[in-house]
Amino acid sequence: MPDEIRLSLVPAPEKLPPAGEDCFLYMVVSQNHAQHLMATGLPLNRRAPLMLTERAGIAAWLAKTAETTACDAHNMPVVLKLKRSLVAQALELEPDHTAEFATPCYLLSGN
């Protein structure tokens, strides 16, 4: 549920310190998708899990998104954050993006 997870927009991700672990996990999504997730909450779907990353993975994820996505006003990438402790039991390590982004990435699968 949206009020349980408390997703929030990171207004200036470039100003976050790039290193260090904090109590949040992050995701890069389109502006439209961010609005949808903030209104409806995070879906837990084993077949289509959401990816989350540590703070150090944000820059790499934004760069990859810029390379692979055509951006218009509705498709601009934004960064959302959520408290790690609220989803910790539903996470599993995502090895491919962990290697690509050189920081831990996770799948929010619900198991």
Report the C-alpha gap between 37 and 66 in whole angstroms.
21
CATH number of the domain enclosing 88: 3.20.170
The total number of structural domains in the chain stands at 1
Ordered DSSP codes for 65-98 = HHHHS---TTT-EEEEEEEHHHHGGGEEE-HHHH
Please choose, from the candidates 65, 50, 46, the residue with its C-alpha nearest in 3D space to the C-alpha of residue 105: 50
In a domain, 3, yes or no: no
| 59 belongs to a structural domain | yes
Tell me, what's the pLDDT at 93? 93
Q: Would residue 1 count as lying in a domain?
A: no
89 found inside a domain: yes
Please report, as a single letter, which amino acid is at residue 101. Answer: F
Following DSSP, what letter does each residue of 32-78 receive, concatenated? HHHHHHHHH-----SSSPEEEE-GGGHHHHHHHHHHHS---TTT-EE
Ramachandran bin of 32, using left for φ above 0, alpha for ψ from -120 to 50, beta for the remaining angles: alpha
In a domain, 65, yes or no: yes
Lowest mean pLDDT among 1-5, 20-24, 27-31, 89-93: 1-5
pTM of the model: 0.87
Residue 74: per-residue pLDDT: 65
Higher pLDDT, 43 or 37: 37
Domain that holds residue 32: 8-108
Residue 102 lies in a domain: yes
Q: Which residues are CB-contacts of 66 (< 8 A; sequence separation ≥ 6)? A: 77
Give domain status of residue 104, yes or no.
yes
* Residue 103, in any domain of the structure: yes
